[in-house]
Amino acid sequence: MLAQLDDLASLTRIDTSGMLDQMTSFPSQLTSSLRATGRRDIEADTVLVGGLGGSAMGGDVLAEYMAMNSSAPTFVVRDTALPRWADERTLVILISYSGNTRETLSMYGSAKDRGCPTVVITSGGRIMEMAQQDGRDVVHVPPGLQPRAALGYLLGSAAGVVESAGLAPMASDIRPFVPELESLMRDLLPGSPESNNAAKQIARRLLDSVPFVYAPRPLRSAATRWQTQINENSKMLCLSGEAPEMDHNQIVGWIDGDRDPRNRPVMLLPRSGQCQATSLMRTTIELLMEHGIDTVVADLEGGSPLESALHGIMLGDFVSYYLAMLREVDPTPVTSINELKSRR
């Protein structure tokens, strides 16, 4: 029997590790990490954000924002080394919530060898020890969370770094709409009934499916976040892509190919007029539906791509949580990731 999403006792029984409490701290994490900081004496022409998994997600949001609001090209590196062009004019922001991510530790050594100005964002671990020994800038965030549930701290800290370096006013741009995130969260919490709760409704539609989540390029991070949260919290396969790129390849697979009825497109549609791909996505949605493809459309509030991305991230987090509840799996453990790490 499927879990009843409006039955709070049932949800508590399944969520034995308390993922819900960690998820709901997202707005307060942003508020805490966005406190004004002084100017950093950094001169940089480019920015690299290094990290893996949940620790890298804040870098994705930052890179999208920087593409539209800064003259400094910004890239996210999910690897063990930096690109060869990284040098003393490259600001390197290394994010490892645990502080012990093997790949990020390797990137730290690469940044040190290149003479890159480096800021480390972490809750502790080996990378904090190394950075402190080398006199590097460390932004310490509170420990005790799953890395994927610490996004508010990690993103807010990264936004503060680029603003304090004079590269973009990202922290200042996020602060005004944190109250809107808090309002959105109230509509997504378990106490909000399924009849009025978008996350519960979408989760029920995605149960027993393989979601393919798409978003316009300026908020591609939201689609990536849906993918990784459904992977980890819901223990389901989920893939993601972006518009308008999907209209030049994946649309053929959806419409012209042999479809598996379990595959389900999910379109993250921002209401902000600042995303030019939105109108193209509407046309794509119409085409998919005309061909009988059950398409989930998630409308995202927000007056800017950044605000819409954060709304999308929060909605996706709750969708992944309710999917876990419907499947009756504890969203917190990631057994296969831990097993893989133990074999390295």
* Average pLDDT score over residue span 289-302: 96
Claim to verify: residue 168 and residue 283 sit in the same structural domain: no
Claim to verify: residue 127 and residue 165 sit in the same structural domain: yes
Report residue 287's pLDDT band, with 50, 70 and 90 as the boundaries. Answer: very high
Separation CA 212–CA 223 (nearest Å): 9
Secondary structure (3-state) at 5: coil
Secondary structure (3-state) at 2: coil
Domain ends where: 153, 177, 201?
Answer: 177
Report residue 273's pLDDT band, with 50, 70 and 90 as the boundaries. Answer: low
Q: Kindly state the greatest CA–CA separation across the chain.
A: 61
Separation CA 94–CA 225 (nearest Å): 19
Report residue 274's pLDDT band, with 50, 70 and 90 as the boundaries. Answer: low
How many whole angstroms from its chain centre is CA 142?
A: 19
* Average pLDDT score over residue span 13-32: 96
* Average pLDDT score over residue span 121-149: 97
* Average pLDDT score over residue span 138-162: 97
Contact 322, 192 (CB under 8 A): no
Pick from 154, 286, 289, 299: nearest CA to 215: 299
The pLDDT, as a whole number, for residue 4 is 87
What are the two backbone dihedrals, phi and then psi, of residue 265, each rounded to the nearest 5 degrees?
A: -75, 140
* Average pLDDT score over residue span 230-236: 98
Claim to verify: residue 170 and residue 203 sit in the same structural domain: no
Between 277 and 220, the more confident residue is: 220
pLDDT at 316 exceeding the cut of 50: yes
The pLDDT, as a whole number, for residue 35 is 83
Q: Catalytic residues, which ones?
A: 232, 248, 341
Claim to verify: residue 221 and residue 252 sit in the same structural domain: yes
The pLDDT, as a whole number, for residue 41 is 93
Separation CA 92–CA 89 (nearest Å): 9
Between 233 and 258, the more confident residue is: 233
| Residue 72 lies inside a defined structural domain of this protein | yes
* Average pLDDT score over residue span 16-35: 95
Q: Encode pLDDT of 175-216 as tens digits.
A: 999 999 999 999 999 999 999 999 999 999 999 999 999 999
With a CB cutoff of 8 Å and minimum separation 6, the contacts of 274 are: 218, 304, 305
Separation CA 184–CA 182 (nearest Å): 5
The pLDDT, as a whole number, for residue 258 is 87
Claim to verify: residue 197 and residue 287 sit in the same structural domain: yes
Domain ends where: 127, 156, 177?
Answer: 177
- The count of domains in the chain is 2
Q: What percent of the chain has pLDDT over 90?
A: 90
Claim to verify: residue 142 and residue 216 sit in the same structural domain: no
Contact 319, 199 (CB under 8 A): yes
| Residue 19 lies inside a defined structural domain of this protein | no
Q: What's this model's pTM, rounded to 2 decimal places?
A: 0.96
Query: Side chain identity at 103, as an amino acid letter?
Result: E
The pLDDT, as a whole number, for residue 1 is 47
Both structure tokens of 160: 């503060």
Which domain covers residue 235, as residue numbers?
Answer: 189-327
The pLDDT, as a whole number, for residue 278 is 87
Claim to verify: residue 29 and residue 143 sit in the same structural domain: yes
Both structure tokens of 31: 């508020």
Claim to verify: residue 198 and residue 168 sit in the same structural domain: no
The pLDDT, as a whole number, for residue 2 is 60
Q: Encode pLDDT of 36-66 as tens digits.
A: 778 999 999 999 999 999 999 999 999 999 9
**How much is the mean pLDDT over the chain?**
95
Query: CATH code at 29?
Result: 3.40.50.10490
